Structure 1
Amino acid sequence: MRQIVLDTETTGLNPRTGDRIIEVGCVEIFNRKLTGNNFHRYINPERDSDEAALAVHGLTTEFLSDKPKFHEIAHELREFVQGAEIIIHNAPFDLAFLNHEFERMGLPPFVEHCANVIDTLVHAKELHPGKRNSLDALCDRYGISNAHRKLHGALLDSELLADVYLAMTRGQNTLSMDVEIEASGGGIVLEAGPLGEILVLPAAADELVEHENVLAALDKGVKGECVWRKYSPQG
């Protein structure tokens, strides 16, 4: 499955009052592996950032003045995300800006070019109700270093969110312990490592007595012999 972790920086909080996107960062994940195939663009919003927004991202009007305008990178962005599952932290905020920018160009909304959207903020709140679930808080919770994050940046935040998402959705898919080794051709293959010794601990005498009492109660309940009798060492 192809997934794109996406973040934006903007001139302010509301696209309906004229705020614009000034940075887009995308990190590609394929089958739960970071590919290094990322998309990153600074954008000239043709207006100044609000003071509060500038304090967050630090991208000045002077710095952005020679960058491409959104319509000059929109088709490239659309091709990059086409058909992928999009992962965003607090998705309504970024999607409002992206949809607005696409609609300004007469294009279908941004979300119509993607397979679907995962909001990691919603997911984090389900996993950690009542806890802080900002990106910084999640980095701390999952042991992901964000010491280099002095200001918000779309690509940096996407890279951090990609690590958080993979940690947050990690599960055990096999009983063996797979070890990554580098193949001679430069790729990565999985090699199953040896299983440790399997310890079998027999039930103690008092545990067997208690087990028999439970089965006897079940027999009484069904007025016969319960199905568990054929699995019981006493049966």
Structure 2
Amino acid sequence: MNKIVQPLYEDNHLLIVNKPAGYLVQGDHTGDKTLLDYCKDYIAEKYDKPGAVFLHPVHRLDRPVSGVLVFARTSKALERMNKIFASRKVQKTYWAVVKKRPAQQKGKLVSWLKKDGAKNTVTAYAEPIDGAQKAETNFKVLGKLNNHYLVELEPLTGRPHQLRVHMSEFGCPIRGDLKYGFPKPNLDKSINLHARRLYFEHPVKKEPLIIVAGLPTDQFWEQFLTLDEVKVKEKNINNMFS
């Protein structure tokens, strides 16, 4: 269990973990054991809780994606975290690895996304259409290593498959993402999309939380640490909540 549940932060209100790629956050038709199940087991064992454990994901990460994931440990924390996410008082930063060089060094991707629930795929449109939701993503190319580019993504909205579709529409599908145009899979069926950082105000303590998830432990991912130039400063965090 220890390799699956990787706590980054925990208190009486929240459990924040570094999600490994390949695990569902919540159950689906496969019936596979989920990260939520493993985290409930972790809490029950660590805190010797004999009854049912209350734990609920505040947001989702797709099965092949890794990185920061927040669970609420109480109904009050869940309600407050839902409001924080709904009001966009959270800053999410992802890292994506692509093979093709992006056409611009930085910018914003905007489109309208419509999900096909039966196929579990999302289609992007340049203009509004019925049933589609507007999606916005800031991007910045951090650098190039071994013929791959590391792109920092900041979703301003939280649509299903948003980052995967946006990079595909931009002509730069994420490495390993067969569903959205990359030509071959990664050996472990992951895609090179990682929820790297999450900044928000604690729902109860009202203190800024800065959560950074370490990269998956493989040589391909770890080489990109040399391109991480972000310096977290208190003034940047304070400005976000002002």
Judge same fold: TM > 0.5, yes or no. Answer: no
TM range (shorter): under 0.3
Q: Give the TM-score normalised by structure 2.
A: 0.23
